[in-house]
Structure 1
Amino acid sequence: MGQRAGEDSEQTEDVPGPRRRTGGRSARVRTAVLTATLDQVTEHGIEGLTIGDVAARAGVAETTIYRRWGTRTALIAAAITELAAAGNPVPDTGALRSDLRVLAEQVSRLISTPGIARLVGTSIALSADPEVDAARRRFWHDRFEVSARIITAAIERGELPAAADPRAVLETLSAPLYFRLLVGEKPIDDAFIARCIDDTLVLHGHV
């Protein structure tokens, strides 16, 4: 009965009318479904993800998901893109070292979240699927693009040489964090973050 109600509600939503507002229920349904997808993938992996489970978790009809996303891989791709869009605000402390610390702490919290390693692994395993691969690329591209503002601001303040490559700086900082947790399976502590920041500043000519 719960599913039937969901279907009726979604059918009502689809009826066009002059007073239909942008967002509203449609936006809430999208958020609920993508959140449920991320939760399912991080908890059970792609092998444990079903449209039915996602629908039940999100409180919507399965038909809603099929109509909007069509396939399971398209749904995962959309969820990965949503994760990138829901990132942390860009640090703006006024100094490169403290900006890098905030950023490193954000990265550490993200990859320490239960299930994120499984999600990363899932996106790589499904990289042969064009939709998932495109979403994975957008995820990393968007994170680098947003975080690059930190490096650009540091160059403008004279803390880094004008030739500094924002992406290279960010890779130097974040790569050891991902490796330590996802490959080395060791916790990221304050001392390790401080070492990553020091290495990054020295390598890229911090003034």
Structure 2
Amino acid sequence: MNDSIEDPDAPAPGSRRPGGRTARTRAAVRDAVLTGLAEHGYPSLTVEYVAERSGVHKTTLYRRWGGVEGMVADALDLAGEDSWTPPDTGSLAGDLRALAREVVEGFGDPARAAAPTAFVGAAFQSPRAADALHSFYAERFRRCEEVVSRAVDRGEAPATTDAGAVVRAVSAPLFLRLFVTREPVDGSLADQAADAALAAVAAGVYTRRTGAPVTGARNKD
């Protein structure tokens, strides 16, 4: 096993944006976690597997990530640092359809869907993974709100439209089929979900109401 990419003095994930050897170590661990999730699922993912696959000694993995939960959470955090931007087709209808089709294309291909599906499964078994998954999608939806902002500027949606609610409404029926009822999804269902959200926008269903909770906020007991 190759320990050459280790950085024993590196800070814990999240304390600063790492670079150089620290970034390579984090990326290697992330890649190993993704592969392990795709091949074995969360319950069978082990520190030993990640150590062998990444070339990072398991003592370093325990010290920096604390175990499998921490590595899975950090892999999601790292995924959320990408440069993905929502589609810009020139119309709200086109943008919502493009967003819905991204969901279908991402989860419809078994090879591409294995790791992200395992992340969702991990969230049901690990509080840290659940928090990381929440943060990942909160950031994704935040970026998608630009789609609705542009639509308001073009006069395609009321100025008081809740952008977060709209973009969540597009993916919600698709995620229901993918992860709850385990039904197949395709392009026509993606378009249907987008068109339903678009009709709701036009009807004023997603207009913000005074005193309504902020979309995406987690309830705290």
Q: Same fold (TM over 0.5)?
A: yes
Which residues in structure 2 correspond to 1:27-176 (within 5 Å)?
A: 27-86=23-82, 88-112=84-108, 113-127=113-127, 131-176=128-173
- Give the Cα separation in 2 of the matches to 1:121 and 1:87: 25
Contact 1:42 1:115 survives alignment (8 Å): yes
Contact 1:95 1:154 survives alignment (8 Å): yes
TM-score, normalised to structure 2's length?
0.77
TM-score, normalised to structure 1's length?
0.82
Amino acid at match of 2:175: Y
Structure 1 unaligned segments of length 5 or more: list them. Answer: 16-21
- Give the Cα separation in 2 of the matches to 1:190 and 1:137: 26
Contact 2:42 2:121 survives alignment (8 Å): no
Amino acid at match of 2:104: S
Deviation at 1:9, TM superposition (A): 5.5
Deviation at 1:47, TM superposition (A): 1.9
Superposed CA offset, 1:47-88 (max 9, x none): 211111011111222233223212321111111222333474
Deviation at 1:203, TM superposition (A): 0.8
Deviation at 1:120, TM superposition (A): 0.2
- Give the Cα separation in 1 of the matches to 2:139 and 2:171: 15
Report what 1:186 is aligned to: 183
- Give the Cα separation in 2 of the matches to 1:203 and 1:122: 33
Report what 1:25 is aligned to: 21
Structure 2 unaligned segments of length 5 or more: list them. Answer: 11-17, 205-221
Report what 1:18 is aligned to: none
Superposed CA offset, 1:134-185 (max 9, x none): 3122112111111111111111111111111111111221101111222232
- Give the Cα separation in 1 of the matches to 2:83 and 2:137: 11
Report the aligned-residue RMSD: 2.4
- Give the Cα separation in 1 of the matches to 2:19 and 2:134: 27
Deviation at 1:31, TM superposition (A): 0.8
Deviation at 1:107, TM superposition (A): 1.8
SS of equivalent to 1:125: coil
- Give the Cα separation in 2 of the matches to 1:157 and 1:170: 17
Deviation at 1:46, TM superposition (A): 2.5
SS of equivalent to 1:204: helix
Contact 1:104 1:193 survives alignment (8 Å): yes
Deviation at 1:123, TM superposition (A): 1.1
SS of equivalent to 1:185: coil
Aligned length: 193
Contact 2:6 2:25 survives alignment (8 Å): no
Amino acid at match of 1:109: E
State which of 187, 197, 200 in structure 1 corresponds to 2:197. Answer: 200
- Give the Cα separation in 1 of the matches to 2:57 and 2:96: 43
- Give the Cα separation in 2 of the matches to 1:109 and 1:63: 38
1:108 to 1:87, Cα distance in 2 relative to 1, 3 A: farther
